[in-house]
Amino acid sequence: MTEPVGPAIARLRLHTHLRELRESQGHSASAVAKKMRWSQSKLNRIENGVVTIQPIEVKALLELYDVRDSTEVERLMDLSEISRERRWWREEKLSQEFKDFVAFESEASGLYGYFALFIPGLLQTPQYAKALSSPAIKEAVADTTGMNLTEVRRKRQETLFDRLDGARPPTVNMAIDEAVLLRPVGGYEVMAAQLDHLLAVSKRPTVKLTVVPLELGAHGGLGGTFELLEFAGSHDDDVVFIETPADDFLLTDKTKTETFRKIMEDLLSSGMSGTHAAEEISQARRRLRKG
């Protein structure tokens, strides 16, 4: 392995490579499944990254594809072993898309996002997060999953800040709509503490906050909140996550993620960042009124 990777990237690289190997050699999925004594659905799930594959199965599959390079065989078997590592999110009651997103998030070298309605989850205080999870909001947006999103958010934050304090901190670029800063979620004390937290986090060297002003008018972010992850090197494409009350969507197709990359770049260049963003957050803090 030329560089360390986690289970999410290992799985993505492995299933992509195995599918490309089969297709390049002209094998049909049904023929390969039959020779491996698998159901075709198992092969499909492996090639789509839905399930992991054991190292010994990888070796057998590579023999079928006539891959004789021992270094390459070991590399792909290593990816298989890494992809099967268990992390905390695998035990949570989350959609598969959300689990995969959290896995990618924990390995991303760059975390980007546009937030039109609320403070980014990774930067929320516990009180702000609790206010967002209030019964009034749940009535408007039914939560039928039974999952503890507040606890999951806390664990994601711990992972991020551990990485920010580490030797290879990720870059964090969040674009926040100005309206989010003016919406007093949880009341005066909760929102004041949340804005103070944003100001403190923005002082970290690899964290950049951008405020998208209301006066900007129509822009690409009006399509809604999304998060985009990028990875070190040139091996892996961006991943985009879109969360809705009904479904979660994880996009890995480059033709689709490129659209969100362009939107993100436009928002970061059009919004207020650095000291200007800090001043906007401070102004919103001063405008808060005690209830």
pLDDT tens sequence across 41-52: 999 999 988 889
Residue 89 or 184, more confident: 184
- State the pLDDT at residue 291: 60
Other residues' Cβ atoms within 10 Å of the Cβ of residue 193: 16
- What tokens does 129 get? 């997060």
Distance between CA atoms of residues 128 and 118, nearest Å: 10
Please, what is the end-to-end C-alpha distance for the chain in angstroms? 57
Residue 290 has pLDDT above 80, yes or no: no
- State the pLDDT at residue 134: 67
- State the pLDDT at residue 235: 77
pLDDT-wise least confident of 91-95, 158-162, 204-208, 244-248: 91-95
Distance between CA atoms of residues 248 and 4, nearest Å: 28
- State the pLDDT at residue 150: 79
**Phi and psi of 43, rounded to 5°?**
-60, -40
Q: Which residues are CB-neighbours of 101 under 8 A, at least 6 positions away? A: 227, 229, 239, 241, 248, 250
- State the pLDDT at residue 234: 66
CA-nearest of 256, 270, 259 to 219 is 270
pLDDT per residue as tens digits for the range 4-39: 688 888 988 999 999 999 999 999 999 999 999 999
Q: How far is CA 189 from the centre of its chain?
A: 30
